[in-house]
Chain A
């Protein structure tokens, strides 16, 4: 081993190859991945939007999410105050899949825990923190700036139903979310309200959930079911309410009037209805063309108020519109002019044809008809509708005994002659009676009576002094006489015994006479021949009877 030279190992050269720096694939791949990530980020990044809110309470940058139906669709990336410090601007990065939310009619609101009359919502956000709710619009153009809602919208685009517009004088106690009832079932809610542009009313948007929206028909009446409806009128005291919740929170009810059976076509979305003040108003029949009348009353009309009913033979056909005082220089009286509206259609089918004709013709016909009716005694009376409250109403009725009056049927408004009311008649008669009673000369009657009474007293005194002692004396004498008579008639008196004996004698005589008579009737011959020998024992026994036997027959 020592002699052998140390030889370095010969490397085995197998091939010669030009080496590509394959390792550069690594950074290239890395760069490609990074580029793809970047590209994906750019592609997946949805639009950035800005939402204005009153406050950023509960919102956190990079934490607060934007959710639609609880699905995150974006994240808050920045919160800053507006230039004029009036609100905050929340920047939101929407996901790419949620780019349809960047449309002008999308609504954003902050979901926070809320407690209201309508219920409690957003409890979950107590723990998880607030988030921004979103509700996509149906149309609209692309937008990046929005004004956030302060309250969650009561109706989202996902809810099915129909929106209708109501119009009212005032909002009452309604609010967003106030319930809408149909047959006391909650079927919708108030979603918007706004003052009319002229300030003369309120337009209220209601949303009726599907499928109950089909019950809203062209003839449907809406009325305000808020609170408790208390009314006091000529027809008495009324109290009505829809439900306890609506008493507190207000509400709207709707119903199809029962008389509108033939108009049951569902109403078109957005149809405009009048919001009536209560159920009874809502359920009234359509009254047709109004006819304005005016009545002149000569008496005081305390208890008559505007809106008091006008009744025809007991059926309400209109109401009082105005009560005013007039001055009549001729009589120097202050008559009261009552203006009222009546609806001739309510009088029945007779007027149907009259009212549907064209206006000129119509007024001519009405004038003719009214002239005829006034001629037959049509009069207006102010009657007492409620004795308790003293409310008056106007009654139009036929009074056959009414005095004839001049009537101008063409006057506008039609002047209906008046007659004193039934109660007025009673009052008149009572006053007449009182007047007659008043005429009775009670004073002289009293004087005469007084005089007579004093004379009577004198006579009585005389009677006491002179006649009464004589009378008592006479009575004593009479008593004595009666006593004597009684003594005479009593059982022990000798007179009576004599009478008794005499009567006995008389009875015996009568019996003998009868025996004799019978004997003679059987033996008439004895009158001539005398008594036979074989005398029957009954004739022989009583010896004393036989003594007057020879008495002659009659």
Chain B
């Protein structure tokens, strides 16, 4: 890939809000036109991303271990069952709703874990001195943003089921603490994606050069 001119090298910074090109200055600079902070790169991008990612990974554990939903149907007058993401998925699969099971599997297991792995890959690559496949990494980054919209599917399922399945006495469903952690995972990974500055991927080459 041809080396293109970069604003940072030319001593300019583009305001991320209004697009005004400013001279590169100190750290705490403001856009003269819109008062937005202007920075050549997102500050502490890598460390913030790492922080959010690690928090997400930590939250991912209780999200999968703790029950996300409590269902109770006629007969289990006292017990009812707590379902974790995985056990609910298995129930769906066993009860013949393989489609829904697959959907939940993709939305609740594949996407979050993929996001976490992908972010980790981006971060590692961004810090590596020897760059490789920047274009693929960028594509991965775009895909992350795209997929992020759908990460909340599981939370929505629980919210919907809880609201809809409320036949007093016959069957009831209630959210459990696990879904909070799952939501946290989604939010944290989105924050991690946001705080990651893809421009760092190009900076590596510049540094090398």
Contacts and interface: CB of A to CB of B under 8 A. Distances in A.
A237 interface: no
A37 B188 contact: no
B75 A129 contact: yes
Interface in B39-69: 43-44, 47-48, 51-52, 54-56, 58-59, 61-62, 66
A338 to B, nearest CB: 69
Main SS of chain B's interface residues? mixed
Interface string B73-96: 011111101000000000000000
Given A19-B43, A72-B78, A8 B23 contact: yes
Contacts of A23: 44, 47-48, 51-52, 195
Interface in B1-52: 12-13, 20-33, 38, 43-44, 47-48, 51-52
Contacts of A29: 55
A63 interface: yes
B158 interface: no
Given A8-B21, A27-B55, A127-B74, A16 B27 contact: yes
A411 interface: no
B111 interface: no
A27 B51 contact: yes
A15 B29 CA distance: 9
Given A12-B30, A13-B25, A34-B58, A21 B48 contact: yes
A128 B79 contact: yes
A44 to B, nearest CB: 13
Contacts of B62: 33-34, 37
Interface in A63-79: 63, 65, 67, 70-72
B23 A9 contact: yes
B193 to A, nearest CB: 14
A19 B39 CA distance: 14
A11 B30 contact: yes
A10 B26 contact: no
B118 interface: no
Contacts of B28: 13-17
Contact of B25 (A10, A15, A71, A72): A10
Given A11-B38, A15-B28, A16-B28, A63 B81 contact: yes
B58 A30 contact: yes
23 contacts: A8-B12, A9-B21, A9-B22, A9-B33, A10-B22, A11-B22, A11-B23, A11-B30, A13-B26, A14-B30, A21-B44, A23-B47, A23-B51, A30-B54, A30-B188, A31-B55, A31-B58, A33-B62, A34-B58, A34-B62, A65-B79, A70-B78, A127-B74
Interface of B: 12-13, 20-33, 38, 43-44, 47-48, 51-52, 54-56, 58-59, 61-62, 66, 74-79, 81, 184, 188, 191, 195
Interface of A: 8-17, 19, 21, 23-24, 26-27, 29-31, 33-34, 37, 63, 65, 67, 70-72, 124, 127-129, 131
- Top 5 nearest A-B pairs (CB, nearest first) are A11-B29, A127-B75, A27-B55, A30-B55, A11-B25
